[in-house]
Structure 1
Amino acid sequence: MSENPLSTDPALARFADIRSWVFDLDDTLYPSHSGLFGQVSQRILLYLQGFLAISPEAAALVRADYYRRHGTTLRGLIVEHGITPDAFLDYVHDIDHSVLTPDPALVAAIARLPGRRFIFTNGSRSHAERILSRIGFDAPFDDIFDIVRAGFVPKPHPDTYARFLSDNDIDPASAVMFEDLPRNLEVPKSLGMATVLVVPRGTGAVPVEAWEAAANTGHIDHLTDDLGVFLGRIAPRP
């Protein structure tokens, strides 16, 4: 039997006490180089162009503004235009999921984690289920907490984290969150959760927008460009 790195690697010692494993979805459970979320991004821009009757350039500016002030484009459209969320979600998630391939190493590593496992996403449940199916997951997650369950209030709003934790009876002190967006880890860290930032393959830098105060990375405990390998270190094969 291989030696458990949790007992030999001080950097991983915190994970010995983790019993709730919380995963973002897009660009976290699958590599960003797949381009899947790029398809979603393009659909968001097309929606804005059609709904607001604006140019592609203007749509990009609106999206950036809504992301900064509201957390997501959807939230901005709800607050400022009163749109019906379902139609937006159906439109932007009408994409080609075939770019994703099975990831048996990641599936096996997550299956070996002790305790409960969760998806916490600003997307829809149906979008999450299609992605999980393509990656090769059967039913290893205890809950998929999507934007509908969040009342269409996205991460990083503190109320959304509170609702997620309450709905699933999670103790933040024994929980970890995996995310690809640095700002979505600030609240979890403040609540006492461990935090892991998933970055694009082959990079070691924290990706942030200029306005996000790039120097502030104290809320990030760990950084990885390969989630399967990272989890494999935490839950090695027996």
Structure 2
Amino acid sequence: MTLPVINPFPGTSSSAFDAVDTWVFDLDNTLYPAHHDLWFQIDARMKGYISDLLGIPPDDAFRIQKDYYRRYGTSLRGLMIEHGVEPDAFLAHVHDVDLSGLDASPRLAAAIEALPGAKIVYTNGSERHARNVLEKLGIDAHFAAVHDIVAAEFHPKPTEEAYLRFLRAHGVDPTRSAMFEDLARNLEVPHRLGMVTVLVVPPDETIAARETWEFEGREDAYVDHITEDLAGFLETVARTAPPPVNEPD
């Protein structure tokens, strides 16, 4: 089953972005194409960690991992609540991945740079992992901050508390910001708070590539835009952005 991609801008205008002065991006499967194996590496390392921690077969560990992910927002949150797992060791283990297959993206770098205002990465992963990925992509210089799961005090997206912590921490006005995500459920709260929401999906993505529930919400009203091409989408936004207002002398 292949999911439809909505026109990036309903109608003919991108005016929904005119007031945006803060651009918030998820990391994994959003700022880099989902066909890269980074998430598969992280997924496998989580499964192995849980298997070793609980002394259970990998298949059983995988079921627990995904159950916690769905119920608690992250597998880590579930492990902390259910098993008292120490988060730093978990994050260091699961993000010890090979980035050699990830190439720099000059087009994406230029598109992000052209956006008016501040750019922030907001991830349920670790800051170290985020900065490693941003550097490999060649886009690290364009982000003012990384808000990770530690900064969120381990309250993950998609909870409202997590987003409110993020907004307070960085002084973000949700009515003047846009949120880019690869999971629709992570856009429901931002939309309710007033953010413009954009779902990033890979071309020709199929249900088989992910857990079926991860596709839920893609046709709901809290997803304002869907794109298969993040760089192209941002280029269009930047081209149609109103010119900056010059203050009088």
What TM-score comes out, normalization by structure 1 length? 0.91
Distance 1:199 1:36, change over 3 A: same
Contact 2:184 2:218 in 1 (8 A): no
Q: List aligned pairs for 1:42-61, cutoff 5 A.
A: 42-61=44-63
Unaligned runs of 5+ in 2: 1-10, 244-249
Q: 2:83 aligns with which of 77, 81, 84?
A: 81
Deviations 1:149-188 (A, max 9, x none): 0001110111110010011111111110000011000000
Instruction: Give the 3-state SS of the residue equivalent to 2:226 in structure 1.
Output: strand
Instruction: Give the 3-state SS of the residue equivalent to 1:88 in structure 2.
Output: helix
Q: Distance in 2 between matches of 1:213 and 1:124?
A: 25
Aligned counterpart, 1:224: 227
State yes or no: 1:63 paired with 2:62: no
Aligned counterpart, 1:168: 170
Instruction: Give the 3-state SS of the residue equivalent to 2:100 in structure 1.
Output: helix
Q: Distance in 2 between matches of 1:211 and 1:22?
A: 20
Aligned partner of 1:76: which letter? G
Q: Distance in 2 between matches of 1:50 and 1:229?
A: 43
Q: Which piece of structure 1 moves more, 154-163 or 133-142?
A: 133-142
Q: In the TM superposition, what is the alpha-carbon distance from 1:212 to its structure 2 partner?
A: 7.0
Unaligned runs of 5+ in 1: 1-8
Contact 1:27 1:180 in 2 (8 A): yes
Instruction: Give the 3-state SS of the residue equivalent to 2:163 in structure 1.
Output: helix
Aligned partner of 2:34: which letter? S
What TM-score comes out, normalization by structure 2 length? 0.87
Q: In the TM superposition, what is the alpha-carbon distance from 1:210 to its structure 2 partner?
A: 3.7
Instruction: Give the 3-state SS of the residue equivalent to 1:74 in structure 2.
Output: helix
Aligned counterpart, 2:135: 133
Q: In the TM superposition, what is the alpha-carbon distance from 1:214 to its structure 2 partner?
A: 4.8
Distance 1:68 1:231, change over 3 A: same
Q: Distance in 2 between matches of 1:21 and 1:211?
A: 23
Deviations 1:72-105 (A, max 9, x none): 1100010011111000000000110111001000
Distance 1:145 1:215, change over 3 A: closer
Distance 1:57 1:102, change over 3 A: same
Q: Distance in 2 between matches of 1:41 and 1:204?
A: 18
Distance 1:211 1:171, change over 3 A: closer
Q: Distance in 1 between matches of 2:15 and 2:205?
A: 24
State yes or no: 1:27 paired with 2:29: yes
Aligned partner of 1:234: which letter? V
Q: In the TM superposition, what is the alpha-carbon distance from 1:58 to its structure 2 partner?
A: 0.5
Contact 1:198 1:225 in 2 (8 A): yes
Q: In the TM superposition, what is the alpha-carbon distance from 1:22 to its structure 2 partner?
A: 0.2
Q: Distance in 2 between matches of 1:138 and 1:21?
A: 14
Q: Distance in 2 between matches of 1:15 and 1:214?
A: 22
Instruction: Give the 3-state SS of the residue equivalent to 2:142 in structure 1.
Output: coil
Aligned partner of 2:52: which letter? G
Q: Distance in 2 between matches of 1:182 and 1:37?
A: 17
Percent of pairs identical after alignment? 47
